[in-house]
A and B are shown apart, each in its own frame.
Chain A
Amino acid sequence: MTSIPMLPAILVDMVGSFIIIILSFLSLRYAWLLIRKQPDNFLWGFLFYFCLTLVCFSVSRAVGHLLKQIFLIFNNKDQWQVLAPYSGGFNTLLMISLAAVSIYYHKGIEGFRAIQQKARSLKEANEQLEVSADKLLRLNVDLEGIVETRTMKLAASEKKFRNFFSNSKDMVYFCNASNRLVNMNSAGLDMLGYSMEEEPELSLHQVFCNEEDLDNYFETIVSVGFVEDLEAEFVRADGTVIYVLLSATALFDEDREFVGCEGIAKDLTRVRTMMEQLASSEKMASVGQMAAGVAHEINTPLGVILGYSQLMMDDFSPESEEGQSLQVIERQAKACRKIVADLLKFSRQSESARENIMVYEVLEDVLAVTEHTLSMDHIHVHRDLDENIPTIVGDTEKLRQVFVNFINNAHHAMEEQGSGDLFLSCHYEEAANQVVATIRDTGHGIPTEVVAKIFDPFFTTKSVGKGTGLGLSVSYGIIQEHGGTIDVESPAKRDDGEPKGTAFHVRFPVTLRESASVKK
């Protein structure tokens, strides 16, 4: 073979050029579809521009090649030589562009990856943020619920303790470090004789009656932290004293500094009075038993002394010295017997009648006997006797003796001042179902220190010989026997407001009994 035909090369060139144009456009189509689907995707953008540049290059080159073959086939070599530099220039230019686009890939993909990484990080951060926001939202919702529940519980608790504070029948108070009472419930103010409307500014110094008690209170509360069952006396607004049982706790701040105290005080005045009365009753009962025993023992020898002295009086003339002495013995023996009889009455050992009595009638009877004597000493009697009162059951004679005792005492209390007023009242207290008789004088009154002793046997403030000290104790025994009580008020309140003198309030229970006398 001496030569090789160029025809196959010419055909390959022409057909290949044509196929290249077709394939480059088909590639560009898919690149276009990709970029249209995801315009923001860098890779698709790169592939699109790569394919676009390749299409330009392929078209430039393939068209150049086809034109060359066509021109040469049709013997237009000159024309092709004119066109050839342009075709070559374009091919060169587009080839360089294609190379430039290819180089751009790596840096572009790095940037794209960096952006993707950032986007992924951002997405993860957003997801975490969403999760956090969701958690926060749930927490917020839960928190709202918790806060609502806690608030309700707090409100319920506050209401409970507020009710306890307000409705407590004992004094509840809060005090600051300077002893100032910053809060006190209405029961406490009522106990001290103030009203809520007054809003009094009180301190413990004003409330405590004894400075010593207050010092004791503070020393204990600061050193121990609390005070338990401290017995103290409080001063009321009107100056009267009440007896309280106090328990308090110290309040400290975060630095353990004393900032105040809170406490509860219970008014035990009534309890204390009752205890004193009970103690007094027990004392009187034991004294009565002793007196009864003594009276019984003395009564027999006294009867013998009186009997023998009277027998001996028959043997001697009354004017004789012996007769005189025997009269003295007889008189003193009788006096002793009267004392013994009084002691027996006090100890309720004597016999009693049981009959229906109108108390005002007894008072009238007593006044009928004593009024003349009273008027002699310029003592005016004022009656306030209610006749529409129920009867009580008792011994009229003994009750007369009681009222005589009271009136005599009143008389003695007023006779020194030369005049006075004696008030007698009798009325029915329906609520307590009691008949109350009151004997009030305008005398010198009973000193506070002896008020508790006036019912003791043989206790008297009178001079020797004027009183035996058995009058009030006998009266006490009789009233006890009738189921009644005696209250002493000294100084006694008067209608004009100024307290003076003494008042005895005798209370009898009203019980329905037959009018017939009964022997006990």
Chain B
Amino acid sequence: MNLVNSTHRMSPFLLLLTLTVFPGNAWAVQSHGAPEGLYVHQLAHVFFTAALCYLIWGIRQSAFKSRGWRFLQIFCVFMALWNVVAFTGHSLASYVDNAHFIREGGYLTTRLEGPFTSVKLLFYFTKLDHLFSVPALLFLYLAMKGIYKSSCEVEEI
């Protein structure tokens, strides 16, 4: 009698187990193609840019006027610019394929071949995105240092 009752209670779980062991076609699960990763990455850049703008607005709203907080805002500006550059770079990558590069020796001898269009030049420029990200991180470092110093001064006072 007990065995019958237990089996009755376990029946939904047994059905689920059977379906798991013999999956067949899992139609409920959506398949993802290769471009999806690029789109997500690009959306992340947009989201990050928006978040940085929101952070700038938030800091200004907070009325923190010290040097450290000003540097943090500059960091945000540079990071936002970097995001724009990176987003542009990723977008232009599809327009500039391997045929536009020539290589005489190894990888380090790779050159972007002419004729130079605005897309090619912009693509080359976006490859130099560290010109924005490095200053951004430098300002972040200065911001953190400044905020730390300010907090020490306040504590001393």
Question: Smallest Cβ distance from A272 to chain B, in angstroms?
Answer: 94
C-alpha spacing A33/B145, complex, angstroms: 10
A9 at the B interface (CB under 8 A) = yes
Q: How far is the CB of A80 from chain B (nearest CB, A)?
A: 11
Q: Is A4 among interface residues, defined by CB-CB distance under 8 A?
A: yes
Name the contact of B51 in the complex, choosing from A33, A54, A103 (C-beta under 8 A): A103
Interface: A131 (CB within 8 A): no
Contact B48 A98 (CB under 8 A): yes
Using a Cβ cutoff of 8 Å, how many contacts connect chains A and B? Answer: 141
Query: When the two chains form the complex, which single residue of A7, A12, A96, A109 contacts B47, counting CB atoms closer than 8 Å?
Result: A96
- Chain B proximity mask over A1-36: 1 for CB below 8 Å, otherwise 0: 111111111101101110110011011011101100
Write out the residue numbers on chain A whose beta carbons fall within 8 Å of the beta carbon of B102.
Answer: 3
Kindly report which residue of chain A lies nearest to residue B142, judged by CB atoms. A27
Stretch in B5-13, B16-24, B131-139 with 4+ CB within 8 Å of A:
B131-139
Candidates B106, B114, B151; contact of A1 at CB < 8 Å: B114
Q: Mark B47-63, 1 if CB is under 8 A from A, else 0.
A: 11011101101110110
Instruction: Produce 1/0 per residue, B32-56, CB < 8 A to A.
Output: 0000010011001101101110110
Shortest C-beta distance, B132 to chain A (Å), equals 9
> Is the pair B44, A92 in contact by a Cβ cutoff of 8 Å?
yes
Distance A273 CA – B54 CA, assembled complex (angstroms)? 116
Q: Is A92 in contact with B107, judged by CB distance below 8 angstroms?
A: no
- Tell me whether B147 is interfacial, beta carbon within 8 Å: yes
B130 proximity list for chain A (CB < 8 A): 12-13, 15-17, 19-20
Chain A residues near B143: list those with CB within 8 A.
Answer: 27
A473 on interface, CB distance cutoff 8 Å: no
When the two chains form their complex, are residues A3 and B113 in contact, meaning their CB atoms are under 8 A apart? yes
CB nearest neighbor in A for B42: A92
Considering only CB atoms and an 8 Å cut-off, how many residues of chain B contact the other chain? 49
A75/B147 in contact, CB under 8 A: no
Name the B residues within 8 Å of A4 (CB-CB): 111-112, 116, 124
Q: Please tell me if the beta carbons of A106 and B124 are within 8 angstroms of each other in the complex.
A: no
| B12 → chain A closest CB, angstroms | 36
Q: Is the CB of A19 within 8 A of B134?
A: yes
> Are B37 and A12 within 8 A (Cβ)?
no
Per-position binary interface string of chain A over residues 226-253, scored 1 when its CB falls under 8 Å from any chain B CB and 0 otherwise? 0000000000000000000000000000
Chain A proximity of B52: nearest CB distance (Å): 6
Which partner residue on chain B sits nearest A94 by CB separation? B44
Complex interface: stretch among A83-91, A151-159, A447-455: A83-91
Known: A3-B102, A6-B101, A73-B107. A105 touches B47 (CB 8 A): no
CB closest residue in chain A, given B41: A92
Chain A residues within an 8 Å CB radius of B155: 37
CB <8 Å contact, A95 and B45? yes
Q: Is the CB of A5 within 8 A of B111?
A: yes
Q: Is A72 in contact with chain B by the CB < 8 A criterion?
A: yes
- With a cutoff of 8 Å between Cβ atoms, the chain A residues found around residue B127 in the complex are 6, 9, 12-13
With contacts A103-B51, A106-B54 known, is A23 near B114, CB below 8 A?
A: no
Q: Could you say which residues of chain B place their CB within 8 Å of the CB of A344?
A: none
Q: Are B137 and A58 in contact (CB under 8 A)?
A: yes
Knowing A99-B47, A106-B54, the reply to whether A9 touches B148 (Cβ < 8 A) is no
Q: Chain B interface (Cβ within 8 Å of chain A)?
A: 37, 40-41, 44-45, 47-48, 50-52, 54-55, 57-59, 61-62, 101-102, 106-114, 116, 124, 127-131, 133-134, 137-138, 140-141, 143-145, 147-148, 151-152, 155
